[in-house]
Structure 1
Amino acid sequence: MGPEELTEFLDDVFPQIKGQMLIEAVGPMSARLRMPVGEQHLRPGGTVSGPSMFTLADCAFYVAILAQIGREALTVTTSATINFLRKPAAADLVCEARILKLGRALVVGDATILQEGQSGPVAHATMTYSIPPRR
C-alpha cells in the first residue's frame, strides 16, 4: 500500500486522527509521517505534549506495518515504550518508523521523532504490535 491508499484506509478505519498527520513516505519495512503541530498539541510552556508525540509514533509504526501486510485494521499495539529526549518547539514533528522483525503474529520495531532545528531526536519509541490470525 502506498501513501494515498494508506491515508484513505486510515480515514475510513481510524477517523479520530483524520487530517492530523501526513504520510510522507513508505518503504520496505518503514514509514515517515509528519504531524503539523497546532494549538491542540501543545502543553503549558509551549512545547509539544507527550501524548501528541506518542500518537505520532504509534501511528507511524501502524502505517509501516500496514504498508507491508495490507488492510488489516485490527493490527494493534501490544507494547510501547517512549523516551522523551529533547523539548520540542511548537513546530512540525516528523516520525521515522522502522520494522525490525515482521513475524506471523508479532511485529517489533521503533519510531524516532525528529524536528528541524534540533540536534538530535526529540523522542524515541520501541513498539510491538499484534497481527490478528488469518482465517
Structure 2
Amino acid sequence: MQPIETPDAMNAFLDEHFPELDQSLGGYRIMAVGTGDVTARLETTGRHLRPGGTVSGPTLFAIADVTQWLAILTRIGPVALTVTTNLNINFLRKPKPGALIGRGSVLKLGRRLAVTEVSILNESDGEIVAHATATYSIPPH
C-alpha cells in the first residue's frame, strides 16, 4: 500500500473516508505532508469556543487525534481502520480564537502499534497551546 504523500491526497482521503470530521470540526485541512509528519490547520469559529472565549478542550483533542492518525498514514498508506488506543494531552496555555496549527509526527512505527506526538500552536504568535502523545493500533494490511 502506498503512503499518502501530498496535502491534496490527504484532504481527499479525509473527505472520502471521514466526512464526519467536517461536520464535527469544520475547517480542518492538511497543509503539509512528509514521511511520518503532518501539518494541519484549523480555522476556529464560534462553534469551537467554550465559555470565556477560548478554544475548547474537545477541539484541541480532535486536532491532536486526527493529526497524529494522519501522520501514521504517511508511513503505512490509507489504512483507515488504524485506531487510537491511548492519547495523553497537556493543555499548556489558553488557545486564542483564530487559526490553530497541529504539527504531528511518528516517533515509532511497529507492525501493530505506532507511537506519535503533536504540538498545537496558535498560528498568530506561534505559541504552543497543547502537546499530546498517542498510541495507535494498526490492523493487519
Q: TM-score range by the shorter chain?
A: over 0.9
* Structure 1 residue aligned with 2:14: 10
Shift of 1:17: 1.2
**Are the structure 2 counterparts of residues 118 and 110 from structure 1 closer, same or farther at C-alpha, using a change threshold of 3 Å?**
same
* 1:40 is the counterpart of 2:44: no
* 1:26 is the counterpart of 2:33: yes
CA-based RMSD: 1.2
Shift of 1:10: 1.1
* 1:104 is the counterpart of 2:111: yes
- What residue ranges of structure 1 are gaps of 5+ in the alignment? none
* Aligned residues of 2:83 and 2:137 also touching (Cα < 8 A): yes
Structure 2 length as normaliser, TM-score? 0.90
Structure 1 length as normaliser, TM-score? 0.94
C-alpha distance in structure 2 between counterparts of 1:102 and 1:23, whole Å: 21
Mean CA deviation greater in 87-96 or 16-25: 16-25
- What residue ranges of structure 2 are gaps of 5+ in the alignment? none
Shift of 1:120: 3.3
* Aligned residues of 2:99 and 2:124 also touching (Cα < 8 A): no
C-alpha distance in structure 2 between counterparts of 1:64 and 1:39, whole Å: 28
Alignment of 1:63-82 (within 5 A): 63-82=70-89
Shift of 1:20: 2.7
* 1:128 is the counterpart of 2:135: yes
How many aligned positions are there? 134
Percent identical pairs in the alignment equals 49
Shift of 1:110: 0.5
Shift of 1:35: 0.6
Structure 1 residue ranges, 4+ long, deviating more than 4 angstroms after superposition: none
Shift of 1:104: 0.5
